[in-house]
Structure 1
Amino acid sequence: MYFVDRSIAVIKPKQPFLDWLNQMPGNDVTLSLADIRSDCTVLMIPEVNEQEDGIAYIDDIADKVFEMELASWYQDEKLWPKSRTLKLFWEWFDVEIHTVVMDTIDQDIHNSPVDHGLH
């Protein structure tokens, strides 16, 4: 096992995000909060020693994370909330910061850019 010089942030949707999803046009499946919180986005962030430092980093990239989360469900930006403020981000998402990341694989990590959001 190897220490990785990163920390992680787990992005967990909250009830307002679920409410938005469930009222989308053409959505014929009603999701539960447990459904959308069971397999959440995990972001590698710069290595931090304190939770607060990880939260501050997420504050800095919240607009990109918000867009990435919305795009993972609906690509049509016209369906997204018009005003995506930092306050709205924190109303729609919980974020767990984990300061220690270990790699159990003895192989290089390969990166590929995402289509929307974080670049």
Structure 2
Amino acid sequence: MKMLNRSAISIQLKQPFVDWINSLDEEGEQVTLEEVNLEATTYLIPELEDEDALEVFIDERHFELLENELLSWEDDDSYWPADMDRALFDEFLDVKLSFMVFDLDEQAPLLATVLDEVDDVD
């Protein structure tokens, strides 16, 4: 077991985000809060000391995180909310912090792919 020099945040959607998802195709199948949160997104972040440090991190990176969550549901940003500010982040997303992160995979080394450099993420 290896302890990583990272913390992690897990992001789950709140009801206003689900309402936005359902507004994208009102005639199509609608999703529920429970359904969308069966799988949370987890982000490895720099090691944080406390909740105050998390608030500073979110203040600095809220746009990037919100953008990624919206992109996972709709790639045309013209359908996204106009004000991508911290207030929208707080309205749409719930963040849970894990201070310590461990890697239990003894076989495979950690690898990274920078998404901005990938032509086709499918």
TM-score, normalised via structure 1 length: 0.90
* CA 1:68–1:27: 2 relative to 1, 3 Å: farther
Partner of 1:68: 68
Alpha-carbon distance in 1 for matches of 2:91, 2:79: 18
Per-residue Cα deviation, 1:62-102 (whole angstroms, up to 9, x for no partner):
00111100110110111111111111110111100110101
* CA 1:114–1:26: 2 relative to 1, 3 Å: farther
Alpha-carbon distance in 2 for matches of 1:68, 1:57: 16
Moved over 6 A (4+): none
Q: Which amino acid aligns with 1:108?
A: P
Alpha-carbon distance in 2 for matches of 1:3, 1:80: 37
Alpha-carbon distance in 2 for matches of 1:38, 1:82: 27
**Is residue 2:53 matched to residue 1:53?**
yes
Checking the alignment, whether the CA contact within 8 Å between 1:51 and 1:99 is kept in structure 2 is: no
* CA 1:21–1:50: 2 relative to 1, 3 Å: same
1:36 is displaced (CA, Å) by 1.0
Partner of 1:110: 111
Alpha-carbon distance in 1 for matches of 2:22, 2:115: 25
Percentage of matched positions with identical amino acids: 30
For the residue of structure 1 that corresponds to 2:115, the secondary structure is coil
1:4 is displaced (CA, Å) by 0.5
RMSD: 1.6
Checking the alignment, whether the CA contact within 8 Å between 1:22 and 1:31 is kept in structure 2 is: yes
Partner of 2:84: 84
TM-score, normalised via structure 2 length: 0.88
